[in-house]
Structure 1
Amino acid sequence: MPPSPAPPPCAPPSGGHPGRSRPVGWAALLLVLAGALGAALLAAGLAAPAPRPPGPAGPAGPAAAPHDRPGPSLPALPRSAPVRVTIPTIGVRAEVVPVAADSAGQVEVPPLDRPTVAGWYRLGVSPGEPGNAVLVGHVDSRATGPAVFFRLGRLRPGDAVEVARADGRAVRFVVDGVASYPKDRFPSALVYGTGDTARLRLLTCGGRFDPARRDYLDNTVVFATRVG
């Protein structure tokens, strides 16, 4: 598995963040998206690039997030690209496109002109394979306002996330927890780590928007585990 990339940067918006439902200024939205998920995927107005986080877990084995529940005994699925993510609790039903990492080591983001699309970090595992599959998305957009992961911070343990794959399978996950991390202390091992259980990480920008840096200061991460 390639080195863990840095979290996607957040763009400079006018106000608003993933946990709020009130409208966000268009300028702010664009900035939020770009900064939150990197240059290509969340390209809604990226801010300064996020610092590179620590590398993956070492010889002691993969790190386990404090939120992760024990995984059920389910057969591992073969690799297959995700094509759609559905999160009923927050009204998300979005197309998923593959993204990688840019030259600065940050996760790419979906095109700025497609704020309702999520991105799958294709250098990691696909949803349903053992390990952590990572989906990223914009928090808002200058053109449309709230974007695909605008309400990500509202998810709670027990909420369902379903990912449809190109092979026709639908993989169901249950949220274990939601956390916010400063960009300079982003837990790469917990987000991109390996393991025997199929897990999912959903990632966007969060926290306070710093107008001087034109960037959100935090990343919101949702931890979820595959269920039968």
Structure 2
Amino acid sequence: MVPRHHTSASEDPFIRAVPLLACAMTAGAVLLIGGGRDERPPQPPPSRALSTSAVPTRPEVRSLPPADPVRLRIDAIGVNAPMTRVGLDATGALRTPPSDKPGFAGWYGDGPTPGSAGTAIAAGHVDTPTGSPGVFYDLGALTEGATIEISRADRRTAVFVVRAVELYDRQEFPSKKVYGSSGRPELRLITCGGGYTKSTGYLGNVVVYATLTAVT
């Protein structure tokens, strides 16, 4: 089960079942630039973390009926990516697209579709085992007010506006806050982030919170 319209976050089994994004596939992936300099993907500093209690900057719009998402665009960070369905792994963590598709964004196929009522979830790699950038490498650089567009199979485009970007340690991942449904059509984008070790990979997740503000 997944978040539904007016479902209480504390009662939703999906929230209990999906504690964080599975980041094991990126273990060992650190970009090497020029003369051997290590470069980490952008992260939202704690001092700049945005409050999810903020009122959306644009009027809300009526939710759409379900339809599969096919492409995600985020002009602010140069993302224009096909989307593929993903599910949960054996531990109940949210999968990312296959490692041979680092340019794809994965949407949680057992949850709401982007633009429909509830919280839609999309995940993507921050980098790859070979050290090249993934689709969400720059996700942590997004700021409040940025626009996210998702084209759907019904030929409608759901337009979301970012209202928060936050970084969480995996041991303190706020599942209710991230996955809980307000009843509005909302979107969460998730990738790996935070500290990094060669033995465990990334130690946290970057989460973008966005609200539907237009349909084209």
Normalised by the length of structure 1, the TM-score is 0.75
CA contact (8 A) 1:199 1:224 kept: yes
Measured after TM superposition, the shift of residue 151 of structure 1 is 0.2
Question: What CA RMSD, in Å, does the superposition of the two structures yield over aligned residues?
Answer: 2.4
User: Is 1:194 matched with 2:181?
Assistant: yes
How far apart, in 2, do the equivalents of 1:136 and 1:23 lie?
A: 25
Q: What is residue 13 of structure 1 aligned with on the other side?
A: 28
1:81 partner amino acid: D
Paired residue for 1:127, among 114, 120, 137? 114
User: Structure 1: which 4+ aligned runs deviate by more than 6 Å?
Assistant: none
CA contact (8 A) 1:67 1:223 kept: no
Q: What do residues 6-34 of structure 1 show as CA deviations (whole Å, max 9, x unaligned)?
A: 21232313435xxxxx749xxx99xx9xx
Paired residue for 2:150, among 157, 160, 163? 163
SS of equivalent residue, structure 1 residue 172: strand
Residues 163 and 187 of structure 1, relative CA distance in 2, 3 Å threshold: same
Q: What do residues 67-101 of structure 1 show as CA deviations (whole Å, max 9, x unaligned)?
A: 56277342221011111000001000000001111
> Which consecutive unaligned segments of at least 5 residues does structure 1 have?
17-21, 33-63
Count of matched residue positions in the alignment of Structure 1 and Structure 2: 186
1:201 partner amino acid: R
Paired residue for 1:209, among 192, 196, 212? 196
Measured after TM superposition, the shift of residue 65 of structure 1 is 3.5
> Which consecutive unaligned segments of at least 5 residues does structure 2 have?
3-13, 42-50
Residues 71 and 121 of structure 1, relative CA distance in 2, 3 Å threshold: farther
Deviates further, 200-209 or 6-15 = 6-15
Identity %: 38
Normalised by the length of structure 2, the TM-score is 0.78
How far apart, in 1, do the equivalents of 2:163 and 2:60 lie?
A: 17
In the TM superposition, 1:43-192 aligns within 5 A as 65-67=52-54, 69=56, 72-143=59-130, 145-192=132-179
How far apart, in 2, do the equivalents of 1:181 and 1:138 lie?
A: 16
How far apart, in 2, do the equivalents of 1:13 and 1:67 lie?
A: 36
CA contact (8 A) 2:29 2:128 kept: no
How far apart, in 1, do the equivalents of 2:70 and 2:177 lie?
A: 24
